[in-house]
Structure 1
Amino acid sequence: MSKFLTGTDLEGAIYDIIWETEEMLMIVSPFIKLGEYFKKLFDKHENNPKIHLLIVFGKNEKSVKKSMSKEDFDYFKKFLNVSIVYVPNLHAKYYGNEKKGMISSINLYDYSFKNNIEFGVFHEQSLLTNFTQSADNDAWNECMEIAMNNEVVFIKRPVYEYKKILINLGKSYVKSDVLYDSTEMFYEYSRKKNSEEKRLSDFPKTLKLGSGPSKRPERVDEEEQQYGFCIRTGKQIKFNPKQPMSREAWKIWNEYGNTDFPEKYCHKTGRPSNGKTSMNSPIL
């Protein structure tokens, strides 16, 4: 059953969605700024690996911190099963768990909850509506598709130990592992599309204790892993093909942001490239 909500009813419904989550909490909001009350709601799930927290945010490509501060981003990293996805053209807002959902105009922004006039359509699942088409089911599926098709910034997954108990296979939580974290580069540099962007489908939902990669990794010279060269100045910097320029050179390049602009040096070797390297192709 769907209901139109505004004012304190809207706020209370979103608070309940966060607080009452048992399996998955989906937050879709271009702007996120957490006050102390929101943190108290989220903190209930801090030590629960069964709850998957999916955060989808966006806007402000050249200054991502305007969409979500580094402090708030780091706050979400503490959860045991969390995915954070960035969508540059996101404007929609949605809050949902396995039983309730809210399509709304309101951002997860403390100021909006206290000062703005906001609307929302709230839906709660029941035995009769679980298997029927609804606007909330459509919204959930659309938001999930958006999350699956955009850039992952942070992934953390629970690790379980599996043991046979009589005829059944039981599992117990051991720890959580960070599988992907591009936070530092994400907040330091403007967002440019590249072929190495990760998607949710690249990562498992859970991990099994003792599991590892099935393919033997290639040996790479340790020195090459640590040091590279700025493709514009030739200056020695940290080896990172995603950011192959010194800070000073990047600031100049970023005025135009042309990822195919010819540069002077190979990021891996420091040899002159005669214009054959670029931000897109930093290595000869």
Structure 2
Amino acid sequence: MADFLDAPGVSAAFIEIIKNAEEQIFIASPYISLTPHNKKYLQSIDDKKVPIDIVYRSDTNPKQEDLVFLKQLQSAQLYKCNDLHAKCYINEKFGVITSMNLYEHSQSNNWEMGVRFFRETDPDLYTQTLEEVERILQASSPESNDQTAAAVTASQRTYEPRKPTRTISPKLKAPPKKGLFEKVVDSVLGETAYCIRCGKTIDYNPEKPYCPKCFASWARFNNPDYKEKVCHKCGAKYATTKTRPVCNDCYKTYYR
């Protein structure tokens, strides 16, 4: 459930977003001025090769030492956005919408507040926020750095979501073991299965084990190993993933 944060709470939540990220981090802040702690945590997550997308307002001037630090992060990409006023920090688990910039003075001196929300308990708020952050990134242009051969203008494509390349396990592509009667029934009625996230009844397809709504949510990060809750084949509560969408019993029963 979403909860209210005061200024110290926002600062602490930002650190938790960095520390707990495993797949992706988005940072939208018009003004940037990093504290030593900010740098330490960003460096630690960069060492784990977690992608970090940072967008700031194009008519602001971050300190040169901060720009140098951010550009040397191997997994980070900086973007500039015209008229950016929103402040949002989010990873694949939870996020914060706040009045606070990622700015040292703001974190130490200003009256600030924010709301923290979670993908698990606030799925609609989480999805809508993430979609808006990606729209902001789509409207932004990348910050050039010393390795950039030519300046990239705002009219050129800027942001592409970073997605893993792994696919479903080849073992699950084999058709289920079924008798003639079961195959006839399936051919007439269609084969019933379950969304591995919400449990809603859907057509059986181990390559697409989500209902449309849950697939849209999953596709934000496209992590094939993200832990889900339901067996695609039998609907039982079980820790599944897109890579392995069925429980052990169904795997042993239906697959070679």
TM-score of the superposed pair, with normalisation by structure 1:
0.52
Partner residue in 2 for 1:8? 8
> Could you list the runs of 5+ residues in structure 1 that have no partner in the other structure?
157-177, 187-192, 208-284
Q: How is 1:159-178 mapped onto 2 (pairs within 5 angstroms)?
A: none
Counterpart check, 1:114 vs 2:108: yes
Equivalent residue number for residue 199 of structure 1: 158
**Distance in structure 2 (CA, Å) of the matches to 1:74 and 1:181:** 17
After superposition, residues 155-234 of structure 1 pair within 5 angstroms as 180=148, 195=155, 197-201=156-160
**What count of residue pairs does the alignment treat as equivalent?**
165
Change (3 A) 1:147 1:155: farther
> What are the Cα deviations for residues 158-189 of structure 1, in whole angstroms up to 9, with x where unaligned?
xxxxxxxxxxxxxxxxxxxx6x466xx69xxx
Q: Which residue of 2 aligns with 1:54?
A: 53
Contact 2:51–2:76, Cα closer than 8 Å, also in 1? yes
Using a 3 Å threshold, how does the CA distance of structure 1 residues 5 and 81 change in structure 2: closer, same or farther?
same
Structure 1 pair 54/2, CA: closer, same or farther in 2 (3 Å)?
Answer: same
> What amino acid is aligned across from residue 101 of structure 1 in structure 2?
G
- 2:74 and 2:3 mapped to 1: Cα distance? 33
Q: Which amino acid aligns with 1:94?
A: C
Structure 1 residue 119 displacement after superposition: 0.8
Distance 1:54 1:39 in 2: 15
Distance 2:136 2:12 in 1: 26
After superposition, residues 91-102 of structure 1 pair within 5 angstroms as 91-102=85-96
One-letter amino acid of the structure 2 residue matched with residue 11 of structure 1: S
- Report the structure, 1 or 2, having the larger helix content: 2
Paired residue secondary structure (1:43): helix
Q: Which amino acid aligns with 1:199?
A: T
How far apart in 2 are the matches of 1:73 and 1:181?
18
Q: 1:53 to 1:24 in 2, by over 3 A?
A: same
Match of residue 144 from structure 1: 134
**Matched position secondary structure for 1:147:** helix
Q: CA RMSD in A?
A: 2.7
CA displacement 1:191-212 (0-9 Å, x = unmatched): xx665x34124x97689xxxxx
The AA in structure 2 aligned to 1:52 is P
Q: What is the alpha-carbon distance in structure 2 between the residues aligned to residue 112 and residue 33 of structure 1?
A: 9
CA distance in 2, matches of 1:144, 1:181: 26
Counterpart amino acid of 1:24?
Q
Alignment of 1:79 onto 2:73? yes
Question: Structure 2: 5+ residue runs without aligned partners?
Answer: 166-256
Identity among equivalent positions (%) equals: 27
